């Protein structure tokens, strides 16, 4: 998986967290589930990003450009 895809999923997780926070403030249903999904997305793809950084030999290859 390329780094730009991993970063896109992390941004997607942040968007889920923002939406979940807005749901929580408004006391709308499913706010907790949305926050949990967003957090899990960020954790999973954050770990993938760390593994990608640790297993890359050269920095230029890490960027996948």
Q: Break the chain into its structural domains and give their ranges.
A: 3-55
pLDDT tens, the chain, 65 aa long:
788 899 999 999 999 999 999 999 999 999 999 999 999 999 999 999 988 888 877 766 666 65
**For position 39, what pLDDT does the model report?**
96
pLDDT tens per residue, range 49-65: 988 888 877 766 666 65
**For position 8, what pLDDT does the model report?**
94
User: Rounded to the nearest 5°, which phi and psi values hold at 20?
Assistant: -65, -35
Buried b (16+ CB within 10 A) or exposed e, 50-59: eebeeeeeee
**For position 61, what pLDDT does the model report?**
64
């Amino acid at each position: 998986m390329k780094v730009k895809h991993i970063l896109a999923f992390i941004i997607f997780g942040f968007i889920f967290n923002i939406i979940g926070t807005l749901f929580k403030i408004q006391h709308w249903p499913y706010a907790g589930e949305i926050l949990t999904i967003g957090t899990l997305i960020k954790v999973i793809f954050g770990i993938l990003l760390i593994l990608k950084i640790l297993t890359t030999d050269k920095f230029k290859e890490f960027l996948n450009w």
